[in-house]
Amino acid sequence: MTLRSKRFAAAVLAFLAAVLGVWAGGFPLSFYTDFPIGGWQWVSLLGPYNEHLVRDFGATMLALLVFTVWAWRTPTAEKLRITGWAWLLFSAVHFLWHLLHLDVFTTFHKIGNVVALALILLPAVLLVLPGRKAEIRGQS
C-alpha cells in the first residue's frame, strides 16, 4: 500500500464519518427513521428510538472524523495505521453486532446492511496493512 492510497482510504472514512456524525449527532430522529435513505428504516427496525444512543453514535463518528482528518492532513505510516486500527476496532464490533441482528430485514436489506458495513471495514483494513518499505522507514 502506498501512502497515497492510504490517504485515499482515510479520506473515504473521513467523508463517511462527517455524513454519519452530522446526521446522527445533529438530527437523531431523522437518522433513526430515515437511515440510509427514507423508507428503508434500517435503524428503526432494530428497536425503540433512543436519542441518547443515536447522538452518541454521531459523536463517535465526529470523534473519528477529527482523528482521521488529523492523520490525513499530516500523514505518516504510523498515524494512518493507528487511525486504521481505531476504525477497524469500531467497525468490526459494529459489523458483528449487525451481523447477529439481521433477522428483522428482508433479504435485500440484509445484503445491503452487510455490504454497507463491509465498505467501512475495507478502508480501515487498508490503513492497517503495511506500507511500502521506504514509507515504513520514514522515507515517504
Amino acid at position 102, single letter? L
Look at residue 139 in the predicted model and tell me its pLDDT.
47
* 103-139 pLDDT per residue, tens: 999 999 999 999 999 999 999 999 999 986 655 455 4
Which residues have C-beta within 8 Å of that of residue 83, sequence separation ≥ 6?
10, 13, 67, 68, 71, 127
* 63-106 pLDDT per residue, tens: 999 999 999 999 999 999 999 999 999 999 999 999 999 999 99
Domain residue limits, the chain: 3-133
Closest CA relative to residue 13, chosen from 131, 90, 124, 128: 124
Handedness of CA 68, 65, 14, 17 (dihedral sign): positive
